[in-house]
Amino acid sequence: MILNDRHPYLIALMRGVQEGWEPPDIVTEDEYRFVRDNKDLIPALTGFVGFGCSFGGKWFGGYARNAGGTNYAAQSKRSLLKDVANLTTARYLNMDYRAVPIPPGAVVYADPPYRGTTGYTGEKFDSTEFWDYARLIAETGHKIFISEQQAPDGWRCVWEKPFTRTLDRNKSNQFQVTEKLFTWEV
């Protein structure tokens, strides 16, 4: 299994856990700021804190907290270790999606930055180019599934689920979106 992401700290986190590094159970707000300001000291920790201890899982989107005192570090750690337990033989790559080696007859799952949203690498993502590439992958014998909210013509929705997206800690800025999974019509 090949797992790729363009974000180097996310891949550092996944590789670190695969190699036995264990995330902390507690991350204070001071520790959060220190890691944010010193990202290269322990890249796996930076990936964990940057996503798992941030509001809404957004890369250093503010220290996660709520009125109930949820321990987001412990919650993220449990979830991560549970997920990685099923990925012990995965090969983690950190490259552009177009450079990922795809074995013959592979099933490909892609979760690109959604059209009209902010990505987390600081680069503008070309959705049109991505969908053209995905169609090429499908037309060369691979089964491909893509998570998005919308897709160009020729793509068929095989699953969808509405959910509420929240943009601030006070939950005053909420809206409904529908997560969808698309595949190429053959």
The predicted pLDDT at position 56 comes to: 87
What region, left, alpha or beta, does residue 147 occupy, with left being phi > 0 and alpha being psi -120 to 50 degrees?
Answer: beta
Average pLDDT over residues 110-124: 76
Average pLDDT over residues 121-130: 84
CATH-assigned architecture of domain 96-184: 3-Layer(aba) Sandwich (3.40)
Backbone phi, then psi, for 10, in 5-degree steps? Answer: -65, -45
Domain locations along the chain: 2-92, 96-184
Residue 114 has pLDDT above 90, yes or no: no
CA pair distance 159, 139, nearest whole angstrom: 21
Give the whole-number percent of the chain exceeding pLDDT 70.
Answer: 91
The predicted pLDDT at position 121 comes to: 58
Average pLDDT over residues 16-37: 97
Residue 109 has pLDDT above 60, yes or no: yes
pTM summary value: 0.87
